[in-house]
Amino acid sequence: MTQQTLVDEKTGRKYFLDAPADTNGGGLTLILSLHGGGSVGHWQREYFPAYDHVDKYRLVILTPSAATKEPARRWVAEADDDHLRNIVSDAYDRFGTENIRAFWLVGHSQGGMTSNRLLADPYFSSRVDGWLSLSGGRIGPIEIPEDFFAPFGNRRPMPAPSAGGAGPGRAIMPDTDFSFIFATGEHEMVALPETSPWAEKYGAGARQQLPDVVDTEPGKIYDTSRDGKSSKGWGLRPRPGTAQIFVYPGAAGGRVIADVVRLDKGHTEGLEPRITEELIKIMVSAPGGKYT
């Protein structure tokens, strides 16, 4: 693996790049990984530590930080979208469009809702093969518990994302084609729906549950600013855990559609190693080639 801090020459902004030691031979999966509101790229990189698997699964991971810092750091179209386009374009140039088999958006919380918003942008909608939403909105109904923001006095720590009326739990239906994985903690939703509008769009069958993924090791990071005053919904310290995986088989074009529930977990507990790898396996099993 190679890990670098690069600079977007057009904006002067830094970002992380993780890539395989050997990028020859193609088959690369490009990932743009976006942190949540109030966070930074370094935290996101540890929350979803896909960099541990770049050589095995031939991943190229871009992890930037949002520019807007008040009232908390968050993604804003006017401040960030050009930067995000720049670093994705640089990756295609750096590694060769012909060598990138698929492009995925990955976003936690407000980074997930930003991914949802980017899918309405022609630049991204023409390139993105998949979206992994890490507690960042589900396409279709999802209900957030009333006490989700209890660590903040039940007030949102920042304005709700601007995404066509979408709230922190629900994403709007994008007008483009891609695979979709929604991963969430058990305590940050009331209940997981048994159906998926995105699965229905592609004529997929009824959901099926795969074997649970059991982690004996904890994730790498959590919300230290809420330590000692957090809640199960917002997230506690990292712990081992078990994740349930539900898939909707037979989607048109071989697209992958899945829901993943991390049992007894909240919004900010970093992903454990086995479920991190399992999510990556699902991502690389999906078809690519929309842009190439």
d(CA 31, CA 49): 12
Task: Please return the burial class of 242, using the count of CB atoms within 10 Å of its CB with bins 0-12, 13-18 and 19+.
Answer: middle
d(CA 233, CA 265): 7
d(CA 198, CA 176): 11
Which domains does the chain possess? 2-285 (3.40.50)
**What was the pLDDT predicted at 169?**
62
The pLDDT of residue 76 is above 70 = yes
User: Residue 173 is encoded by which pair of tokens?
Assistant: 């239906």
What predicted TM-score, i.e. pTM, was given to this entire model? 0.94
The mean pLDDT of the chain is 92
Q: What are phi and psi of 29, to 5 degrees?
A: -110, 115
Could you write out the DSSP letters of every residue in 10-76?
A: TT--EEEEEE-S--TTS-EEEEEEE--TT--HHHHHHHS-GGGGHHHHTEEEEEE--SB-SSS-B--
The pLDDT of residue 33 is above 70 = yes
- The residue-averaged pLDDT of 46-67 equals 98
- The residue-averaged pLDDT of 156-179 equals 65
- 209-221 pLDDT tens trace: 999 999 999 999 9
The pLDDT of residue 80 is above 70 = yes
Count of residues making up the chain: 292
Which residue is it, tokens 């995000």? 84
Q: Residue 215: beta bridge partners?
A: 241
The pLDDT of residue 21 is above 60 = yes
- 95-115 pLDDT tens trace: 999 999 999 999 999 999 999
- The residue-averaged pLDDT of 2-24 equals 95
Contacts of 239 (CB under 8 A, 6+ apart): 218, 264, 269
d(CA 180, CA 105): 10
**What was the pLDDT predicted at 159?**
46
**What was the pLDDT predicted at 166?**
44
Which range among 46-55, 139-148, 167-176, 203-212 shows the weakest confidence by mean pLDDT?
Answer: 167-176
Q: Where are the alpha helices (DSSP H) in the chain?
A: 41-47, 54-57, 77-95, 110-118, 122-125, 197-201, 273-285
% of the chain with per-residue pLDDT over 90: 83
Q: Which residue has the higher pLDDT, 60 or 169?
A: 60
**What was the pLDDT predicted at 71?**
84
d(CA 46, CA 270): 7
- 168-191 pLDDT tens trace: 566 889 999 999 999 999 999 999
The pLDDT of residue 164 is above 70 = no
The pLDDT of residue 161 is above 70 = no
Q: What are phi and psi of 80, to 5 degrees?
A: -125, -25
